[in-house]
Amino acid sequence: MANKKNKKILSSSINKKSSSLMDDFNSSINIDQRLIEEDLAVTKSHVDALHKLGTLSIKEKNKIHKGLSSIQKDYLDGKIIFSKKNEDIHMNIEYFLHQKIGDTALKIHTGRSRNDQVATDTRLWIMKSSKILQNEIKQLMISILGQAKYHKETIIPGFTHLQIAQPILLAHHLMAYLEMFRRDLDYFSFSIKGSDENVLGSAALAGSNYSLDTHLLNKKLNFTKSKNNSMDGVSDRDFCMYFLHASSMTAIHLSKLSAELVLWSSNLFGMFNVHEEYSTGSSIMPQKRNPDSLELIRSKSNIIRTKAMEFSNIISGIPLTYFKDFQEDKKIIFECFDELKICLNVMSEVIKKSHFNEDKGVQLCNSYFATATDLADYLVIEKKIPFRQSYKIIADIVHYAQNHNKNLSNLNLNEFQLFESTIDKKIYHYVDVKNSLNRKKTPMSTNPKNISKQIKKYDLYLK
């Protein structure tokens, strides 16, 4: 064989004298080795296109395919040792192939460049990873839906400004997150669609000198179309931004949910108990259990959100077409994927296994006058008093109840009539927390009938 074991596969008079420091600095194999399966698939499809042109014989094509499959098996068996001397995943694979099949391996780079190769690899990885994250989001949605079904009659306070506002069903609150995560699924679908353009044939920037069958390449790699412009092909990293933006939106929703559950799990709220598998003890205070899983999700989610900014800092201001700056992009998308995947997985388990306090919600609603708006509506509906006037009357009643350490249901009729003489016993129907839910009329409301319909809708959607 022409190559010795320690010789670079890419060698010329231009790069003969690169220092070992430069080799280390220039190498990306520690990061882009993760693209090995994509790069093997891209190379196999390119080899098929070269064979169709007559550039490779059937014997050479089969020999190369066999060698590439052998490399894939070695990788899966943990036998691959990547080398910084060969810079990146593309040159490492070419080196491994040369070791297996000899000089026939030197033909695989005909008509292509690492520029169109890495762009295609990355697109395939983004599409694959977006689908993996979609599946993780769906698993989380299934966990949330399970709790919504179990708690479709559990009443909790709804909050604005972190103040108790109005009674709602816990299921209604949880299903608000189903709406958020469903949008995230759509964002990742957009990421997949934005990645679905095959760059092969763009070569370095001007296009290939070989009449590669782009339809064959697309079919082999499951792309629906090729890039229209070779310069855009090798320089376009918008699809990575789509992936990072989708990840950022999911991270925002995870951060919102984790922050909420951390508050609910505190002694002050007492509405949520994090399962012991996902909480930890204090090193000094034996009575405490800390919601560390949720706090880590909240923190990691905020880190995930910064990845889009990191990436945009790399690609903004770069002229056409390819620059070494792009070498730094993979690290960002890989880190984003890893962090988001584990956050989704942990949140799914926390939701599935943890316990919502079924009694605390009604207690909080009664203690903090959550049906005050219903009483204002009582005066509007039953007594025909204008809302702004009824609002003031009920505000005075609430103030009175607070001063006398009572909740609204504890006030007697005479006390109500101190503020409005026409108030009758019907007001107690409006004071009742459960009745507040049943009075909601709009289809997106917390009315139990609406919630049952929404649960059925999501049951079908997730199945």
Contact yes or no for 288/280 (Cβ under 8 A):
no
Instruction: With CA atoms as reference, report the closest residue to 452 among 139, 175, 108, 211.
Output: 175
| pLDDT above 70 for 147 | yes
245 token code pair:
């933006």
**pLDDT tens figures, 34-73:** 999 999 999 999 999 999 999 999 999 999 999 999 999 9
Q: pLDDT higher for 20 or 202? A: 202
Q: Give CA–CA dist 435/431, Å, rounded.
A: 8
Contact yes or no for 98/1 (Cβ under 8 A):
yes
Which whole-number Å values give the CA distances from 271 to 168, 274, 386, 397, in the listed order? 14, 10, 36, 28
Catalytic annotation present for 173: no
Q: Give CA–CA dist 246/237, Å, rounded.
A: 15
- Looking at residue 17, its pLDDT comes to 66
- Does the domain at 20-110 match CATH 2.70.70.10? Answer given as no
Q: Give CA–CA dist 133/385, Å, rounded.
A: 53
* Catalytic residue from among 11, 57, 266, 282: 282
Start and end residues for every CATH 1.10.275.10 domain found in the chain: 20-110
Question: Sorting pLDDT into bands at 50, 70 and 90, what band is 23?
Answer: confident
Start and end residues for every CATH 1.20.200.10 domain found in the chain: 115-362
| pLDDT above 60 for 441 | yes
* Catalytic residue from among 161, 283, 316, 421: 161
Q: Could you tell me which CATH class the domain 115-362 is placed in? A: mainly alpha
- Looking at residue 3, its pLDDT comes to 41
Q: What average pLDDT does this structure show over 334-340? A: 97
- Looking at residue 6, its pLDDT comes to 47
Radius of gyration (C-alpha) of the chain in whole angstroms: 31
Which whole-number Å values give the CA distances from 256 to 116, 181, 263, 302, in the listed order? 39, 12, 11, 10
Record the pTM: 0.93
Instruction: Give 22's Cβ-side CA count (13 Å radius).
Output: 5
| pLDDT above 80 for 13 | no
| pLDDT above 70 for 408 | yes
**pLDDT tens figures, 66-84:** 999 999 999 999 999 999 9
Rounded to the nearest integer, the mean pLDDT of the chain is: 94
**pLDDT tens figures, 81-119:** 999 989 999 999 999 999 999 999 999 999 999 999 999
Kind of pairing between the strands at 163-169 and 155-160? antiparallel
Catalytic annotation present for 282: yes
